[in-house]
Amino acid sequence: MYVDFTSLTADNVMTCAPLWGGAETYAPGELPQVLDAAALLLRERRGQGAIIREDGHPRAFGMTTFVDERFIDAYLENPHPHIGKRLLLDARNASTSVLRLDQIAERNGGDGLQLVVTNSNIDPATRDPSTVMGAVIAATFDCHRGYRIARYVNEVFGEMAVSMVAASRSFEIRHIFELLIGGGTMRSLVGTVTREQAAASTNPLLALFAYSPPRLGFTPAEQELLTEALDGVTDEGLSDRLRIPVSSVKARWTRVQQRVAYATPELFGDVAEGRSGTRGPQTRHLILRYVRDHPSELTPYASPRRQRRRRSAS
């Protein structure tokens, strides 16, 4: 048996419909609306997630988004089931509860982000629940590398997921609900953990809160280029993915290399001077290795200085 995970995207989120946690308690017609909203957030980079596969078959998934702290504070004062559904339906109607990219950048450069699981689930038919759950945790870390997380809010549905989360002792359990379905009930659980709580214990989620701010300050266009280039794509492939001419891809690479040479010249120390054309690929390799090891370089970020200038200007 082979277990792996792949990124959740706007193109594949619909494949998670059979796994969608708590869908049995939705009103008729709500699930398609929720999935449409999930696709919208994933497309806009305001949502992130992964699908866990067992021998190629989807067996679990998770999707998260970043939410305004005032909404979370009010929610935790009066918790209720389906926080994820509410956030997704609100986002479909242009609610401000789910953060925009510029707001994510501000929190990344400030006190941190409120991370909320909008939905996750494990297929009860999975042959190895422990291994699949381990892959869920690994995917959670992978999806959120480079973000400054202040609090993590998790909502799960079904006996297997509720039992696993409760047994993990990783979360402060805020409420367990009994939801009516058909001729019976379904349990759901809402739990939270903050950076301070994780640091004060031997919490396995502590790595989620590790964070170092970026040094290079790539533009969104440069971040987009580098994110795609991490897959080993050629300039022609980047042109197709980014829907820009190859000449524009090369121009972005030039700006990236100039930025890195100015901000962190030590990155180029191992690149030997060579004939014309030999230095570029080596430099790109070093840049990609650096951003792979420093994921905050590829997440939205607004420096505190920039935020102060924006406030004084207003």
Is 249 found in the same domain as 126?
Answer: no
pLDDT for 306 equals 59
Within a domain: 306? no
Two tokens, residue 10? 């706007």
Two tokens, residue 43? 């497309």
d(CA 159, CA 182): 16
d(CA 220, CA 227): 10
Is 179 found in the same domain as 224?
Answer: no
* Closest by CA position to 108, among listed 297, 301, 295, 298: 301
**Which one of 209, 228, 258 terminates a domain?**
209
d(CA 62, CA 79): 21
Cβ proximity of 156 and 118 under 8 Å: no
d(CA 7, CA 55): 16
**Which one of 159, 177, 209 terminates a domain?**
209
**Which one of 209, 241, 269 terminates a domain?**
209
pLDDT for 273 equals 46
Two tokens, residue 295? 């994921």
pLDDT for 307 equals 60
Here the CATH number for the domain that contains residue 148 is 3.40.630.30
Q: Domain count of the chain? A: 2
Within a domain: 204? yes
pLDDT for 308 equals 54
Is 198 found in the same domain as 249?
Answer: no
Within a domain: 309? no
pLDDT for 275 equals 42
Is 67 found in the same domain as 15?
Answer: yes
Within a domain: 240? yes
Q: Which domain holds residue 291?
A: 220-298
Within a domain: 86? yes
Is 121 found in the same domain as 80?
Answer: yes
d(CA 214, CA 264): 12
Within a domain: 56? yes
Is 80 found in the same domain as 7?
Answer: yes
How confident is the prediction along the chain (314 residues), in pLDDT tens digits per residue?
Answer: 899 999 999 999 999 999 999 999 999 999 999 999 999 999 999 999 999 999 999 999 999 999 999 999 999 999 999 999 999 999 887 777 999 999 999 999 999 999 999 999 999 889 998 899 899 999 999 999 999 999 999 999 998 889 989 998 899 999 999 998 888 899 999 999 999 999 998 899 999 999 999 999 999 999 999 999 999 999 999 999 999 999 999 999 999 999 998 888 887 765 544 444 456 788 899 999 999 999 999 999 998 765 655 555 55
pLDDT for 124 equals 87
Burial class (CB in 10 A: 0-12, 13-18, 19+), 175: middle
**Strand positions, DSSP E, the chain:** 3-7, 47-54, 57-67, 113-122, 149-157, 172-181, 184-194
Is 115 found in the same domain as 241?
Answer: no
pLDDT for 267 equals 74
Is 11 found in the same domain as 140?
Answer: yes
Is 259 found in the same domain as 135?
Answer: no
Is 164 found in the same domain as 42?
Answer: yes
Within a domain: 149? yes
pLDDT per residue as tens digits for the range 262-309: 888 887 765 544 444 456 788 899 999 999 999 999 999 998 765 655
Is 170 found in the same domain as 85?
Answer: yes
Helix (H, G, I), strand (E, B) or coil at 212: coil
Within a domain: 305? no
What pTM was estimated for this model as a whole? Answer: 0.89
Is 110 found in the same domain as 12?
Answer: yes
Q: What are phi and psi of 177, to 5 degrees?
A: -105, 155
